[in-house]
Amino acid sequence: MAEPRVPGGRGATLDLPCGESVKTRTFDMGMREYDCDCGDSHAVVMDVHPPSRFVPEFLVDVLRETIDTTDDHGEFGTMHLMGVVLEEFPEDVVSEDVAEDPDLGYAMVWVTDFDSRRLHEVVVELIVELMEHAVSHAADDDAMSQFEADMLNFDVSTFVEQYRRERDFTGPHDRPA
Ligand SMILES: [Zn+2]
């Protein structure tokens, strides 16, 4: 049973896809994964986490250059990434706007049914799709065939494993290795 919400957003409760309910106060900015009472680990993402948590900075730059954002969240970032994940996996992602609770240090939190390793793979797969879409719209056959050739040798699982090994995932201000 979810606890009643307190006016003003304080002590808001997040109903997870697995059925457990967790107070948003449980999540802090340094958290990447939540060990849930259901026995699983769920990935935790906040708006303050940089997209470089998932892919290298140069790729983030490419995304910012190629993807037009039509909303008011500014250049392509974690908000947009998690928006795409939510769109693809509506049953597996919950989010909460906690902007009214400034003590938390973040304004949005997403929790997924899958763990942070699986989320990482999902995000990278979606980024590859986004880039493929962007390249195909560039109407440059050479760019498209180059991209397809590059992607033939790209293994999401290997990339994710390597990237996670090279990165320090303990702090909120982690940078690419
Ligand atoms: Zn759970």
The full 3-state SS of the chain, as one line of letters, equals: CCCCCCCCCCCCEEECCCCCEEEHHHCCCCCCEEECCCCCEEEEEECCCCHHHCCCHHHHHHHHHHCCCCCCCCCCCHHHHHHHHHHHCCCCEEEEECCCCHHHCCCEEEEECCCHHHHHHHHHHHHHHHHHHHHHHCCCHHHHHHHHHHHHCCCHHHHHHHHHHHCCCCCCCCCCC
Separation of CA 131 and ligand 1 centre (Å): 32
Separation of CA 57 and ligand 1 centre (Å): 31
* Side chain identity at residue 127, one-letter code: I
pLDDT of residue 144: 78
Token pair in block for residue 76? 């392509």
Residue 8 has pLDDT above 70, yes or no: no
Separation of CA 34 and ligand 1 centre (Å): 8
Separation of CA 37 and ligand 1 centre (Å): 6
Residue 64 has pLDDT above 50, yes or no: yes
Average pLDDT score, the chain: 85
- What pLDDT digit, counting tens, does each position of 94-148 carry? 999 999 888 899 999 999 999 999 999 999 999 988 888 877 777 677 877 887 8
Residue 9 has pLDDT above 50, yes or no: no
Residue entry with tokens 């919400």: 5
pLDDT band at 168 (very low <50, low <70, confident <90, very high): low
Residue 71 has pLDDT above 90, yes or no: no
Closest CA relative to residue 81, chosen from 132, 125, 27, 41? 125
Cβ-based neighbour number of residue 154 at 10 Å:
12
- What pLDDT digit, counting tens, does each position of 14-59 carry? 999 999 999 999 999 999 999 999 999 999 999 999 999 999 888 8
Token pair in block for residue 119? 């989320």
Separation of CA 115 and ligand 1 centre (Å): 10
pLDDT of residue 33: 96
pLDDT of residue 10: 58
pLDDT of residue 177: 40
